[in-house]
Structure 1
Amino acid sequence: MSRDQHRAAGVRSGTPFAARSAVELRRVTRVFGSGNAGVAALDDVSLSCPTGSWTAIMGPSGSGKSTLLHCAAGLDRVTRGQVLLAGNDITAAPDDVLTALRRHTIGFVFQGFNLIGSLTAEQNVAFPAKLAGARVSRDEVRRVLAGVGLADRARHRPRELSGGQQQRVALARAMLSRPAVLFADEPTGALDSGSARTVLELLRTMVTAAGQSVVMVTHDPAVAARADAVVFLADGRIVDRVDAPTVRDVAERLARWEG
């Protein structure tokens, strides 16, 4: 199914969730520091990511990409504005509510992997679900690992895996709970070209076949072009957007704002 067909199917579904944005930022500002020393990492940002879509975030270093991702996922508090995640206003949500959302509604793939060194790959994948009190079968864990090409690495610990393999374990961990929204910070940054293609195909399947939503930070125009839309940040503000992007579209616009 093409991206346009998938969008049309989502509109026709008529479900309440399908009509909402997966992620919505309303005039969000995030300031680090205070007084004259305060720095606005995000400055009056408004963004809507439709349910069942894949949005890529791009921009120069220091433009606020990771801050936007963290605020949208409830990992960081905004200074001003409003954040809605899967229909829930999380702007001032208490920590226990945010914890529940992170366990059951979202997945997050960190740039630094965040694996536990003493656990095997399959134990790392299952750990968040078990922490939330969910029952996870070994077969399901191994199915997810196989999906990212690591069926033969289930019993290996992080120190026995390459950086790219660790990144795929982190992705499998985020995918296990079939989250409504998957946030990913440079998910292909440590991968070789073959592994990157595998990961991108998995993300597209999550969106097209399962109706999940992906919000991803990347610096790679070829990766961003796999998304449904690309949003460009500069100096904490959204400065451009392209829908149904091509690699050329993305590269030209990125060069404009990085120049």
Structure 2
Amino acid sequence: MSAAVGTEQVAPAGSAAIELRGATRHYGPKRERVRALDNVSVVCGRGSWTAVMGPSGSGKSTLLHCAAGLEQLSSGQVHLAGKDITGASDRELTELRRRDIGFVFQNFNLVASLTAEQNVALPLKLAGVRVPTAQVREVLASVGLADRGKHRPRELSGGQQQRVAIARAMVMRPKVLFADEPTGALDSNSARQVLRLLRDMVDGAGQTIVMVTHDPAAAASADSVLFLSDGRIVDHAVAPTAREVADRLASLEG
């Protein structure tokens, strides 16, 4: 994983899962314009786990959303899963998200009336793909929930619900998983379980993960950490400890 402020960094050919070049995102009319991303260039290699941190309003969520094609850049380029998606149509982006991207959010977003198996199968059904029960059960087993497939969300703990959400994101075997505060609603024990699962996905399955978090312990589980302030990458740490992450974040917030 490489990162820089205003300077393009290029990974070896074919090794980049995500690449932003001069990414800039404005909000609001010209006279009141807010620059949420300011000429950000960053490369995330395949099979890497990158955490994104920064003070409130630093551009973390905007970076995630633009990298995932959920928001369009005002200027610059985004390459995702080997494709330039900068000017992609809504239809092309929808197809890309169904096929190549998985999302995990803080609030799980499970359908209360559906079982764990049905929640995991939902993206396949929405994509018009035949749902192989064996595949659904396999992915639930991979997150340690082989015996919870018939349970509804209200019958599961918070950590179990988040693991169902991760299984749902992974059932389409996406090339990149985007996680927005995936441990933010969990107790410390459940958070550790989810982080171990994400670590196993990177090390065992070669998954690429980009995760926004406010938790230094969660960030320290990643391979590298990007620190944002005022829409710019101002620091970058490789395999930091939770204490090092906390200290760097405190210096930005101070």
1:11 aligns with none
Aligned mates of 1:225, 1:148 — CA distance in 2: 21
* Correspondent of 1:95 among 90, 94, 101: 90
Aligned mates of 1:161, 1:209 — CA distance in 2: 26
1:158 aligns with 153
Task: Show CA shifts across 1:73-123 (max 9, x none).
Answer: 111111111100011000110112111111111101123322223322211
Aligned mates of 1:226, 1:162 — CA distance in 2: 22
Shift of 1:54: 0.6
Aligned mates of 2:109, 2:71 — CA distance in 1: 17
2:244 aligns with 249
Shift of 1:162: 4.3
Which amino acid is the alignment partner of residue 59 of structure 2?
Answer: G
Which amino acid is the alignment partner of residue 27 of structure 1?
Answer: G
Which amino acid is the alignment partner of residue 183 of structure 1?
Answer: F
RMSD of aligned C-alpha atoms?
A: 1.8
Task: Show CA shifts across 1:1-59 (max 9, x none).
Answer: xxxxxxxxxxxxxxx9x733111111111112122222111111111111111100001
Secondary structure of the residue aligned to 2:57 is coil
Does residue 106 of structure 2 align to residue 105 of structure 1? Answer: no
Unaligned residue ranges in structure 2 (runs of 5+): 1-11
Q: Is the 8 A contact 1:20 1:87 kept in 2?
A: no
Mapping 1:1-259, distance limit 5 Å: 19-259=14-254
Percent of counterpart pairs with the same letter?
A: 70
Aligned mates of 2:154, 2:61 — CA distance in 1: 26
Distance 1:164 1:199, change over 3 A: closer
Secondary structure of the residue aligned to 1:19 is coil
Shift of 1:245: 1.6
Task: Show CA shifts across 1:136-159 (max 9, x none).
Answer: 322322232233343343233334
Q: Is the 8 A contact 1:20 1:86 kept in 2?
A: no
Secondary structure of the residue aligned to 2:205 is coil
Aligned mates of 1:27, 1:161 — CA distance in 2: 43
Unaligned residue ranges in structure 1 (runs of 5+): 1-15
Task: Show CA shifts across 1:169-211 (max 9, x none).
Answer: 2111111122111100011112223322222222122212222
Shift of 1:215: 0.4
2:7 aligns with none
Normalization by structure 1: what TM-score? Answer: 0.87
Aligned mates of 2:187, 2:132 — CA distance in 1: 30
